[in-house]
Amino acid sequence: MAISGLAIGRRSGPEWLSVRLAQNGRLWLIALAVYIADQLTKLVVVNTIDYTDQRMVLDGFFKFVHWGNTGAAWSMLYGNNQILALISLVAFVVLLATHRSFSPHTSLGQLALGLVLGGILGNLTDRLLPGRQHVVDFLYFYLYRRGGGEVGFPAFNVADSALCIGVGLLFLILWPRTAKALFSWEGDVKRER
């Protein structure tokens, strides 16, 4: 039965909104914490380390750097900052629209989505800031080569870390459903033979 377009049994008005905020509050709190941590650490780097400079922390293993990346992970698509900003914005909107698929009612789902959304916003902010126009990367792990020089993992930041962890958690959340669907499909095919 519907009253003014609202089905009985569904919450409406202020009560519905407060329940919705409570359900997604942890998700948005995590996203906000990631965003703030990302932007604050980048602000410290921008104000204390000259662009392209570095500060040794553990010789032969870790240093703080101030590098700009106009590409994606591992500098793929380097020089395509505006395109990657648009892709980030689309990814953010798609995640918002489809977030129910990622178990937002569970703590793990809220953590995963919060990390991903906060990470996207952190790097998107860098790409859109007029004075920056690139993502600030500052954590650099490396080893010395025997013949000289360094070999290292690409520099990254807090947003990158949050994105990687969040996406990994989303895979863990989705894997049981995907595996179940895959194996039940194979069973249907075998029965038809």
- Buried-state track 128-159, b at ≥16 Cβ within 10 A, e below 16: eeeeeebbbbbbbebeeeeeeeeeeebbbbbb
**Active site members:** 137, 160
Alpha carbon 70 to its chain's center: 17
| Selection from 37, 49, 64, 42 nearest residue 152 by Cα | 64
| C-alpha span between 19 and 66 (Å, rounded) | 43
**Under 8 Å between Cβ of 35 and 118:** yes
| C-alpha span between 130 and 118 (Å, rounded) | 20
